[in-house]
Structure 1
Amino acid sequence: MQPRPRLLLATAMGAVAVLVVGCTLGTARQGPESSRGAGVIPAGLESFYAQQVEWGSCDGFATDGDDLKPTLECARVTVPLDYGNPAGATAQIAISRSPATGDRLGSLLVNPGGPGGSGLSLASIADGTEVAQRFDVIGFDPRGVGASTPQVRCLTPQEIDAERSDPDVDMSPEGIARTEEKNRTYAERCAQRSGLSLLAHVGTRDVVRDMDVIRSVLGDAELNYLGFSYGTRIGTEYAETFPENVRAMVLDGAVDREQSPVDETVLQGAGFQQAFDAFATECTQSPDCPLGTDPAAANTRFRALVDPLVTQPAATTDPRGLSYEDAVTGVLQALYTPSLWTSLRGGLTELTEGRGNSLLLLADRYAGRLDDGSYSNLEDAFNAVRCVDDPPLVDRGVVGEMDTRYRQAAPFLDDGRGTGNAPLDACAFWAVPPTGGPSDIEVWGLPPVVVVSTTEDPATPYQAGVDLAKRLGAALISYRGAQHTATFDGVACVDDPITAYLVELAAPEPDLTC
């Protein structure tokens, strides 16, 4: 079974032809919104909630290859590493700002998902819109992520490259034992290199506390929030924890916290199969499609292209070559959005010729590999957050059943080596206990919020958004499309009602479908 895809915002990942390590110069700016705290300030945390924000250059803040626009300003906010011990160690949360260009209403905090995704570049997501005129748009790197410190780190670049070259497809008892030993070693390295105190406090429960500190130090009595993908879980937990502090909240690409990790994984597999089928249907209309001309045979043709890579990587101009693991990862990266289908078709065409440059580039982008061979900490942070957000799967029967169901849900990802058994992942060997897990969503006193869900979203199935809207009593905007998330992606029938809601608190029309 392939690793579970991360829940990343596709529009933020964008095109992957060029990776740029960005650094920009912002103008230091101090406004009345940076005055000493706002809204409800919890007892014992006054020094954090009332700290002064010192905006300045974003030079050195970019960690994931995304270029930060020169109009952005950056800063860091100090928070307790452990909110149960506010006098103890602290963390620094990196934030970015695109200042309001007109009559300012307040700040809009934006999160891209992941978990583990850097959100600094998302401060530019609403540029040119009324939202950018009325709000300071604020991006942030959650604790442990990107430019925030301390940073989660588990593997060196060389270790990551080696891991990506291993196909991990042997489901015999011996193969499972080898994979589990690698996963155990990975968990041990995370504990050694990141520290137990960080790993214990890197989950969503603590991130929402950080968001409330950010709200206050920005001078906002109430939070305005836009969360994509995993960012919807952050938003939901913020709504549960601080409902009285919410002014407006948009959740796009819902993660269903009430689902078990098994069901979530299997449904995500089905979502990517749906996206692959849509890609194959479009591709096979052309006689030179690398998957042939029969959509019904696309799974078989795809397996014929990637299976040989298990034993022999494809040639690339990069000395690493294209491994089996990277080929599949590159395909998953492209299936997040139809805007990458042209790149996917080109990558599969190259593969018919024994070359793998395009798919390797897609896989590098997904893994957070930069031009100099270093990596962002996206993958390590992803694992660190999910290992504390949900209890580990340690029942081998359940893990084997999940593997079988995943292969059935996503046959284009099935290498045919399933045995009904599968290895325990790194979370089973994690050094700190989980702080969250599947549970009922209980929110009281929350003002009207909005959920956006895309009908053929490959990463977060449409029904999860429908269910989340019901549980939050939220307005639902349904977008007919085959991409991951839709807000501020140039779709007027989504963006216009979202803008009216954020600016005027005007509710979208009931059951709006675009």
Structure 2
Amino acid sequence: MLSRLFTSARQKRSGSHTVAGLAVLALGIAMTACTSDTSAVSSSPGLQRFHSQQITWEACESYANTSIESAVFAQAPTMECGRVEVPLDYRDPDGKTARLAVARVPARGEPIGSLLINPGGPGGSGLFATAATAMALQDARLTETFDLVGFDPRGVGSSEPAIDCFTDAVADSGDIVLSTQGTAVQWTEEETKDILDQCAERSGGVDVLTSVGTRDAARDIDVLRAVLGDDQLTFLGQSYGTRLGAVYAEQFPQHVRAMLLDGAIDPTQGTVERRVGAYAGFQRSFEQMAAFCASQADCPLGEDPTTATEVFHQIVRPLHETPVPALNSELGFDEAIGGVVAGLYTEAAWPRIITGITQLQQARGDELLQLNYDFSLRDGEGRWPNFAEALYAINCMDEQRLSLEEGNRLRASIFEAAPFMDPGVALTGARDGCEHWPTEPTLGFPYATDIEGLPPTLVVSITGDPTTPHAGGIRLAEQLGGALLTVDGEGHTIVMAGTNQCVNEIAADYLIDLELPPEGVSCEL
């Protein structure tokens, strides 16, 4: 979901980035318990001290974790950063606390309030997204009218404590097994226990790991709303951010002014159904990419798009046993699939996928590994953000847990829905990476149901979205009783990029003037 639910189980990071490319990546980084008693949460007198705090704004340089973040922050010279304290456990507001990292780009004109953004993930940095969005929308009505505000959710990025499961050196070794549900990777029970213990030790304790679910992150948003001085929330969420926004709407409908949800996750689907649907979306995008490739000379997938998956198997499956050299490391099957999936998020990256597949025919994996590096935003100095670690922990608090049998059935369903990802070998041991998690998930499915008192919302959905299918956008709009803007084209999320005038105008009309588009209106990419 910025989301990459399907982050390769073995992550390697290196390489360099351009600032212009980082803005695009930031904007594309693009998931069984009962619903909590939100009235008690919102009215608890124990939260007053959190609501009344003041942010001390300062330069953002010290909030950067990588040279990539530093470079992007520098492109938004008016951005300022600070911290907001929140309870680690909302059931015990007098207990331990966490500190959220917050960024603000003041409005270029007279602000009517704050526009709070979340770029997705889970695990995406709101500070990075704020700088990138300010760059992309520097002349837009939105940045003239609103203070643009982003935050690193609890456990993410520069918030404290942040989820930390391994060192940069260990990450660079390429031997990390870290995902809530693998594809080709085969885990042992010892490995899933070790990763929990390692994350708990490095992150500050088990209570930190169990506090990072979406319901608690939504409560943090309400504290932030109050601290910013906004009577009601104006929110723009993309990918996983649509889940975060929908859960906030469920918990605090009376505090919503406007909510634009772009690249929507279907709130009615459980973990298995949604993951299979998302992978099916990547298969569709793979086939679209293959058709684009077939129209060009020397396509490594051949001239017939209907046989592209079979040809791809011939090229990529040998990597399962024999990786190839790549940059300063090597590329195996999981990394190759991860690079292709990363490129499928945006049509603009299709030529890079084709180059990468061509290189595989030459026994090199440079471009596909670089796509992995670019997606994960690991910098050239060997530092990388905690996106994968935070995604893991947050999903453990949100997603349904699967037995080994259920995991194996899910993997078979994924390969049926997305055969380009099938390694073609017998696999066992699709263990749930959260099987030893000490508490049950807190999100619950379906969520955001039967919300009373919610003002009109706007869902934006691209018809060719590879990871949050258009059908999910339709259902979220129905669930929230809001409007739907359909965007015809290929890609994952669009609003924060500022590249489509039709979408720009409709988004601004809604967020600024609360004017919804007519029913049935659409835009084209």
Give TM-score scaled by structure 1 length: 0.88
Query: What's 1:102 paired with?
Result: 109
**Does residue 507 of structure 1 match 2:516?**
yes
In the alignment, the residues of structure 1 paired with residue 321 and residue 158 of structure 2 have an alpha-carbon distance, to the nearest angstrom, of 38
In the alignment, the residues of structure 2 paired with residue 163 and residue 17 of structure 1 have an alpha-carbon distance, to the nearest angstrom, of 18
In the alignment, the residues of structure 2 paired with residue 73 and residue 274 of structure 1 have an alpha-carbon distance, to the nearest angstrom, of 41
Unaligned stretches of 5+ in structure 1? 9-15, 21-39
Give yes or no for contact 1:337–1:484 (8 Å, CA) kept in 2: yes
Q: Whose relative contact order is higher, 1 or 2, with alpha carbons under 8 Å and at least 6 apart?
A: 2
CA 1:201–1:59 in structure 2 vs 1: closer, same or farther (change >3 Å)? same
Counterparts of residues 7-406 of structure 1 (less than 5 Å): 18=17, 42-63=44-65, 65-66=68-69, 67-68=72-73, 69-124=76-131, 125=133, 126-164=137-175, 176=186, 178-194=187-203, 195-318=205-328, 320-394=329-403, 396-406=404-414
In the alignment, the residues of structure 2 paired with residue 211 and residue 54 of structure 1 have an alpha-carbon distance, to the nearest angstrom, of 18
In the alignment, the residues of structure 2 paired with residue 145 and residue 214 of structure 1 have an alpha-carbon distance, to the nearest angstrom, of 16
1:422 Cα deviation after fit: 4.1
1:417 aligns with one of 418, 422, 425: 425
1:393 Cα deviation after fit: 0.8
In the alignment, the residues of structure 2 paired with residue 293 and residue 232 of structure 1 have an alpha-carbon distance, to the nearest angstrom, of 39
1:41 Cα deviation after fit: 6.5
Matched AA of 1:6: L
CA 1:468–1:367 in structure 2 vs 1: closer, same or farther (change >3 Å)? same
Matched AA of 1:215: R
The share of aligned pairs that are identical, in percent, is: 40
Give yes or no for contact 1:167–1:310 (8 Å, CA) kept in 2: no
- 1:278-326 Cα deviation digits (max 9, x unpaired): 11100111121121211111112212222122222222331x2222221
1:91 Cα deviation after fit: 0.8
1:488 Cα deviation after fit: 3.5
In the alignment, the residues of structure 2 paired with residue 88 and residue 171 of structure 1 have an alpha-carbon distance, to the nearest angstrom, of 39
Give yes or no for contact 1:7–1:460 (8 Å, CA) kept in 2: no
How many pairs were matched up?
479
Query: What's 1:475 paired with?
Result: 483
Matched AA of 2:48: E
Give yes or no for contact 2:267–2:445 (8 Å, CA) kept in 1: yes
In the alignment, the residues of structure 1 paired with residue 183 and residue 441 of structure 2 have an alpha-carbon distance, to the nearest angstrom, of 27
In the alignment, the residues of structure 1 paired with residue 220 and residue 4 of structure 2 have an alpha-carbon distance, to the nearest angstrom, of 26
- 1:56-108 Cα deviation digits (max 9, x unpaired): 10012123533112221111111111111111111110111111001211000
1:365 Cα deviation after fit: 2.7
1:433 aligns with one of 412, 417, 440: 440
CA 1:167–1:91 in structure 2 vs 1: closer, same or farther (change >3 Å)? closer
In the alignment, the residues of structure 1 paired with residue 65 and residue 518 of structure 2 have an alpha-carbon distance, to the nearest angstrom, of 40
In the alignment, the residues of structure 1 paired with residue 259 and residue 426 of structure 2 have an alpha-carbon distance, to the nearest angstrom, of 42
Most deviating of 159-168 and 67-76: 159-168
Matched AA of 1:470: E
In the alignment, the residues of structure 1 paired with residue 162 and residue 213 of structure 2 have an alpha-carbon distance, to the nearest angstrom, of 13
In the alignment, the residues of structure 2 paired with residue 183 and residue 297 of structure 1 have an alpha-carbon distance, to the nearest angstrom, of 38
Unaligned stretches of 5+ in structure 2? 8-14, 20-41
- 1:38-69 Cα deviation digits (max 9, x unpaired): xx874221111011111110012123533112
In the alignment, the residues of structure 2 paired with residue 391 and residue 364 of structure 1 have an alpha-carbon distance, to the nearest angstrom, of 29
1:164 Cα deviation after fit: 4.7
In the alignment, the residues of structure 2 paired with residue 369 and residue 477 of structure 1 have an alpha-carbon distance, to the nearest angstrom, of 34
Query: What's 2:496 paired with?
Result: 488
1:180 Cα deviation after fit: 3.9
Matched AA of 1:87: D
1:360 Cα deviation after fit: 1.1
Most deviating of 430-439 and 448-457: 430-439
In the alignment, the residues of structure 2 paired with residue 330 and residue 417 of structure 1 have an alpha-carbon distance, to the nearest angstrom, of 20
- 1:317-368 Cα deviation digits (max 9, x unpaired): 31x2222221111111100001111222222222221111111111123344
Give yes or no for contact 1:243–1:446 (8 Å, CA) kept in 2: yes
CA 1:7–1:325 in structure 2 vs 1: closer, same or farther (change >3 Å)? closer
1:493 Cα deviation after fit: 1.6
In the alignment, the residues of structure 2 paired with residue 366 and residue 471 of structure 1 have an alpha-carbon distance, to the nearest angstrom, of 31
Matched AA of 1:325: D
Give yes or no for contact 2:333–2:423 (8 Å, CA) kept in 1: no
